[in-house]
Amino acid sequence: MREISFRLNGEDRREEIYPGEKLLETLRTRCGVISTKDGCQPQGQCGCCVALVDGLPKVTCAVPAAAVEGKSVMTLEGVPEEERAAIAASFVSVAGLQCGFCIPGIAIRARHLLDQNPTPTRAQIETNLAGHLCRCTGYTKIVDAIETMAAARRGECVPELESNGRIGASLARFSGCELTLGDRPYVDDLDRPGMLHGAVVLSPHPRARVVAIDTRQALAHPGVVAVATAEDVPGNRWYGLLYDDWPGFVAPGEEVRCVGDLLAAVAAEDEWTAREAAKLVEVDYQVLEPVLDPQHAMMPDAPQVNPVHPNVLSRTEFRRGDADVALAASAHVVTGTWRTQRIEHLYLEPEAALAEPLADGRLMIYTQGQGVFDDRRQVASFLGVDESELAVELVPNGGAFGGKEDLSIQAQTALLARITGRPVKLTLDREESIRVHPKRHPIVMDYTVGCDDEGRLTAVRARMIGDTGAYASVGSKVLERAGGHACGPYEVANVDVVAEAVMTHNPPCGAMRGFGANQANFGMEGALDLLAEKVGLDPWEIRWRNALEVGGTFATGQIFEKSVGIKKTLEAVKESYDAARAAGRAVGIACGLKTSGIGNGVPEWGKARLVVEANGTV
């Protein structure tokens, strides 16, 4: 290690750093700064970690810590309190944040911009934000917030934040000010006395037999406290949201099924040591040919991907009327194949978990997952304990979009805490995150759609094959949802739909915003455009003629009893759509629908628990 000296938020600092350590690590792990967030270290691509180095905005995950020797660094923690309040109020008053993970980096860069240019145009603000990603807001409100910041600096009034909770009041975002300034901690910002840090060992192969795992070198590494593998799991090593088909650790003699499979987890005195030790875990693999194409996986001679399921995980069928007869009698018929791709959620906060042994013998788990009860159920089974022995708290996350419904590293973190008897925090880096968590399903959709000579739909035949990857997650339900949405928001009397979820050695696919409906809408809208061309109808008009109304029948046979808004949306865009076409612009139109609530026939319910606190508040 070597020592560096620099000035942080007006105070002199002397810190010892590892060779190659980045400034972001120094700020977060040695200086206690949490406003700089780690979204992609060391790629320098997301902007969450921006700080001012000698007055210039820098992505600190790409700046060597040694490079700030003798320099001045400013983070949001060093901004004067009155200005901090104005920055926070500017973002919160215009709803310029959602999950908040990206906002501190944006706020410190915005401050630098306004120092240089007190009255920037919206275009200049947008250009200034080019180095920042936001996965929640769409940026418009962020630009509004920076305009509000500029107005506040000029002495114009920043709207007061409403917090009385009265009906009709526009409430300030809960914890919005703390989120804007980076003060409200995410899981990776949490710290505990005596806390260890974790790291994981992932498979480099999509398919291989694990011959042996040797942890001796990792255990002998200075600063390492524990290394856990499959043999250390006291309970059920397999878990999952719907099926116990996903191993928390792959054991010798078993196959790894994707590049996100875990072989071991290390606990050490700091994250640097944990990651160095994880590299020392030796795994002997017998590499096997992976099945990466779902069509191949469906063949009789294909190897079985997952031992719990056949390769065809699920098959969903919807049939009404007689599609074959209706298609044969149709004035116009189109046929085509539509393909959607596997999509990464790219939430900006990588997965993290903190497990803390409590004095009463229970284990406290802080998670960024999307279901604390699902987390508790699966981790308790993994540890072989009753659920009452675990307390699981959701630390609001930095984006999820469905990708944090499944367990990531909560179970492994909990096991390390049980083994060591100390708090353990484990955070994935961006590459590990992408390898571990489920994606949006790529679906191949073969459509045959017919209509009469006036463009009114007569029949839809659809065949959908979704690549659900190595583990089930909620893939069967996603394909069920895709099949149910196969006709889009249109009235169709004759329906013949088959949707299959197929297992491969690709990364698992699960929940992502839309949950299968997006893919089906894409296929159906493409077929509708082909029909419009055949009939000679305007694309708007063919949608209008077929749009569902109250009393209409959905693809699955559900009767819509109220609140069918598709024609209202078509009416709302018609003037702009017609004007764009008249001007010769390349313009398209598409419609879609999505279930409200869980759907798929599941009864909806809700409940709340009210607790009277000692001070009389509820």
CATH label of the domain that carries residue 111: 1.10.150.120
Is position 467 within any domain? yes
Residues 151, 96, single domain; the answer is yes
Residues 337, 482, single domain; the answer is yes
Is position 234 within any domain? no
Residues 130, 53, single domain; the answer is no
Q: Where are the alpha helices (DSSP H) in 437-586?
A: 475-484, 517-535, 539-546, 566-582
What are 418's two structure tokens? 């049980």
Residue 546 has pLDDT above 80, yes or no: yes
Give percent above pLDDT 90 in the chain: 93
Per-residue pLDDT tens over the stretch 415-450: 999 999 999 999 999 999 999 999 999 999 999 999
Q: What local confidence, expressed as pLDDT, does residue 170 receive? A: 82
Residues 315, 328, single domain; the answer is yes
Residues 71, 89, single domain; the answer is no
Is position 324 within any domain? yes
Q: Count how many residues are written for the chain.
A: 618
Q: Cα–Cα distances in Å, from 514 out to 125, 477, 510?
A: 31, 12, 11
> What is the total count of domains within the chain?
3
Residues 149, 69, single domain; the answer is no
Q: What local confidence, expressed as pLDDT, does residue 579 receive? A: 97
Higher pLDDT, 617 or 15: 15
Q: Is 558 left (phi over 0), alpha (psi -120 to 50) or beta?
A: beta
Is position 369 within any domain? no
Sheet with 443-451: strands ordered across: 312-320, 494-503, 457-469, 443-451, 332-339
What are 218's two structure tokens? 């990792």
Residues 62, 85, single domain; the answer is no
Is position 198 within any domain? no
Q: What local confidence, expressed as pLDDT, does residue 123 receive? A: 97
CB atoms within 10 A of CB 189: 20
Sheet with 255-256: strands ordered across: 255-256, 208-214, 282-287
Is position 562 within any domain? yes
CATH label of the domain that carries residue 54: 3.10.20.30
Q: Cα–Cα distances in Å, from 250 out to 209, 261, 280, 382, 480?
A: 10, 7, 17, 13, 29
Amino acid at 384: G
Is position 243 within any domain? no
Per-residue pLDDT tens over the stretch 8-35: 999 999 999 999 999 999 999 999 999 9
Lowest mean pLDDT among 73-82, 278-287, 468-477, 608-617: 608-617
**Residue numbers of the domain that contains 17:** 2-77
Residue 602 has pLDDT above 80, yes or no: no
Residues 576, 485, single domain; the answer is yes
Residue 271 has pLDDT above 80, yes or no: yes
Of 165, 184, 203, the position where a domain reaches its end is 184
Residues 62, 135, single domain; the answer is no
pTM of the model: 0.93
Residues 327, 444, single domain; the answer is yes
Where do we find the tokens 């094959």? 465
Residue 392 has pLDDT above 90, yes or no: yes
Find out whether 101 and 349 touch, Cβ atoms under 8 Å. Answer: yes
Residue 318 has pLDDT above 90, yes or no: yes
Residues 42, 94, single domain; the answer is no
Residues 536, 448, single domain; the answer is yes
